[in-house]
């Protein structure tokens, strides 16, 4: 059974946002107490977190589809719906996140590093939050947004300081077992190691990790043996140790030739040229092994390598080898100390999404595209005329209508928001002042209070105090329209200011 998987595709579906609620407060003697529909809850995110206890992506190989719970719809009586739970997926240190086209999105190194793989949908605002002085009792609420759905490739690139490379049966796993507490499988047949092993080594003051990778053979770059696939686990290492087998019984092999073959395979893989290399001549406990090591050491030193004759079996030379490794690590850590890695929360999408584009199409229609606008469309319940009117207002406020005018749209033009099959198609009915004047057309949106309407509303709402003032001005009938208009003018200013403030706040909340 496989217990190690280092590349999987994860299908992450974040939770949907709950819908906002439309509700009107009802009390005894006060049947219309104002809107009190709460907001929908946020959908849960799917978050990847580096956990030191996880060493494989096996779990995700078995169950690659992961879903966070959705937010619940809002309730009446000002109660918001509960949010969905975030789903936290533990991944090994060194997990690389790629999109489905293979572009790297994140590299998760360091315990506790967090990556939001899929963002939960926002909850829709309830009619309470949508109420303003202009829109006192909205008969609509915003829909919750669908959660993000992403297919991500997770690839594990082990985080080891030193990598052991060499032929099968050269003794790489034996070396790891001899210098660390790791207990990898060791046997005298090739390809004993099928997945990388990691061990922690302490040499003097320095502590570092060593990994071996499955053995390489000539033609590995063409897929012979286990191929070069596992060299991914070597990519992050600081230095390579060539483990050369001095005791092999194969007569057509010798350590120098082995080294050259492994080097040419590494070159095929690419990207490891700058890593310092040292050489371990293994199996010097065997008489033939010791003789062979003696024979080739000088030649290898002449080629510029540090050479360490060792035996994983008798532990000869291991201290010298591990201290040599430690020196390389210290040197690289001293250099790296300057560019300290920080843990960051990586977000899948850019934060600024307020831009939009308006493009005229060949068939006379117009396409409006932009993250924010497309989100607004998703939040809109198209069965509710008021909700559609609200969407139109928001778009006008963002300047979409102006832009449509500039690009030559007229009343009745087809406007598509979004691209492809998901696009929502409107017959455009301009609501902005300029457009309305130009075309003499205006939507039947009731929130566009005409002056007359506005006055009527205020008329209905005269407070006790206002009535008293009219009494003071000795108005015979407190409801005389002329006077009402005068009195109301300043009330209207106040209301307008308040409306603006509420509008701004609503904007802020829906962002
Ligand atoms: N005599 C002797 N035998 C050794 C020494 N090191 C390893 N061996 C033997 O060599 C064989 C292969 O050892 P492994 O550690 O499994 O070799 P490997 O390089 O990990 O091999 P793969 O995992 O197949 O690539 C085993 O039978 C070991 O007992 C050594 O220093 N001396
Ligand atoms: Mg091995």
Domains annotated for the chain, with CATH where assigned, are: 1-157 (2.70.210.12), 162-339 (3.40.50.300), 350-448 (3.30.300.350), 450-511 (no CATH)
User: Does the CB atom of residue 169 touch ligand 1 within 6 A?
Assistant: yes
pTM: 0.66
User: Which residue would you say has higher pLDDT here, 474 or 484?
Assistant: 474
pLDDT tens track for 77-123? 889 999 999 999 999 888 999 988 888 888 888 888 899 999 999 99
The answer to whether the CB of 242 falls within 8 A of the CB of 279 is yes
> What pLDDT sits at residue 352?
57
Q: What does the pLDDT look like over 393-403, one tens digit per residue?
A: 888 888 888 88
pLDDT above 90 coverage of the chain, percent = 32
188 lines ligand 1 (CB under 6 A): yes
Distance 292 CA to ligand 1 centre (A): 17
Asked if 162 and 241 touch (Cβ cutoff 8 Å), the reply is yes
Taking all residues of the chain, what is their mean pLDDT, rounded to a whole number? 80
User: Between 298 and 224, whose confidence is greater?
Assistant: 298
The rounded Å distance from CA 192 to ligand 2 centre is 5
Which pLDDT score, from 0 to 100, does residue 478 have? 44
Res. 469: pLDDT tops 60 = no
Measured between its terminal Cα atoms, the distance across the chain in Å is 49
CB 171 less than 6 A from any atom of ligand 1: yes
Residue pair 325/241 in contact by the 8 Å Cβ criterion: yes
Closest ligand 1 atom to 311 CA: 31
Q: Is the pLDDT of residue 490 over 70?
A: no
Does position 319 have pLDDT exceeding 90, yes or no?
yes
| 87 Cα distance to chain centroid | 13
**89 Rama class: left (phi>0) / alpha (psi -120 to 50) / beta:** beta
pLDDT band at 484 (very low <50, low <70, confident <90, very high): very low
Give 206-263 pLDDT, tens digit per residue. 889 898 888 888 888 887 877 787 888 888 888 999 999 998 888 888 999 999 999 9
pLDDT digits (tens, 9 = 90+) for 50-71: 988 888 888 898 899 999 999 9
Pocket of ligand 1 contains residue 287 by CB under 6 Å: no
For the segment 258-273, the average pLDDT, to the nearest whole number, is: 90
Half-sphere exposure of 175 (CA within 13 A, CB side): 35
Q: In sequence order, which residues have a C-beta less than 8 Å from that of residue 443 and are 6 or more positions away? A: 389, 392, 429, 431
pLDDT, tens only, 14-31: 999 999 998 888 777 766
């Amino acid at each position: 059974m496989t217990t190690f998987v280092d590349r999987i595709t994860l299908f992450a579906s974040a939770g949907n946002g709950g819908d906002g609620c439309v509700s009107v407060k009802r009390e005894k003697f006060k049947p219309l107490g104002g809107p009190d529909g709460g907001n929908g809850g946020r959908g849960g995110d799917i978050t990847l977190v580096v956990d030191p206890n996880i060493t494989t992506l096996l779990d995700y190989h078995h169950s690659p589809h992961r879903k966070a719970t959705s937010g619940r719809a809002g309730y009446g009586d000002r109660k918001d719906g509960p949010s969905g739970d975030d789903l936290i997926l533990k991944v090994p240190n060194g997990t690389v996140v790629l999109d489905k086209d293979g572009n790297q999105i994140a590299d998760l190194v360091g315990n506790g590093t967090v990556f939001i793989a899929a963002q939960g949908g926002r909850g829709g605002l309830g009619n309470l939050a949508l109420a303003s002085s202009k829109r006192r009792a909205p008969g609509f609420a915003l829909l919750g947004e669908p959660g993000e759905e992403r297919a991500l490739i997770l690839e594990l690139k082990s985080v080891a300081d030193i990598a052991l490379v060499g032929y099968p049966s050269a003794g790489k796993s034996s070396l790891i077992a001899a210098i660390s507490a790791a207990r990898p499988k060791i046997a005298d047949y090739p390809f004993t190691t099928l997945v990388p092993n990691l061990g922690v080594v302490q040499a003097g003051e320095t502590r570092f990790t060593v990994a071996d990778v499955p053995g390489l053979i000539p033609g590995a770059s063409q897929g012979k043996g286990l191929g070069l696939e596992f060299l991914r686990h070597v990519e992050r290492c600081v230095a390579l140790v060539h483990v050369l087998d001095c005791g092999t019984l194969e007569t057509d092999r010798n350590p120098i030739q082995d080294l050259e073959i492994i080097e040419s395979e590494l070159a095929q893989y690419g990207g490891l040229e700058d890593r310092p290399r040292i050489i371990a001549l293994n199996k010097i406990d065997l008489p033939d092994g010791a003789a062979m090591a003696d024979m080739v050491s000088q030649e290898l030193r002449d080629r510029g390598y540090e050479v360490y004759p060792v035996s994983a079996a008798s532990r000869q030379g291991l201290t010298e080898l591990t201290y040599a490794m430690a020196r390389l690590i210290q040197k690289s850590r001293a250099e790296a100390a300057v560019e300290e890695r920080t843990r960051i929360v990586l977000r899948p999408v850019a934060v600024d999404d307020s831009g939009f584009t308006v493009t005229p199409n060949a068939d006379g229609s117009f396409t409006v595209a932009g993250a924010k606008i497309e989100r607004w469309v998703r939040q809109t319940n198209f069965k509710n005329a008021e909700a559609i009117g609200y969407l139109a207002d928001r778009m006008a406020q963002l300047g979409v209508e102006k832009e449509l005018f500039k690009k030559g749209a007229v009343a009745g033009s087809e406007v598509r928001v979004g691209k492809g099959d998901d696009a929502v198609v409107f017959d455009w009915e301009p609501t902005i002042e300029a457009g309305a004047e130009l075309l003499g057309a205006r939507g039947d949106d009731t929130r566009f209070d005409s002056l007359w309407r506005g006055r009527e509303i205020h008329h209905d709402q005269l407070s006790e105090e206002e009535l008293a003032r009219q009494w003071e001005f000795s108005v015979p009938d407190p409801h005389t329209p002329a006077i009402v208009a005068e009195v109301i003018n300043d009330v209207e200013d106040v209301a307008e200011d308040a409306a603006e403030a509420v509008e701004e706040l609503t904007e802020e909340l829906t962002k």
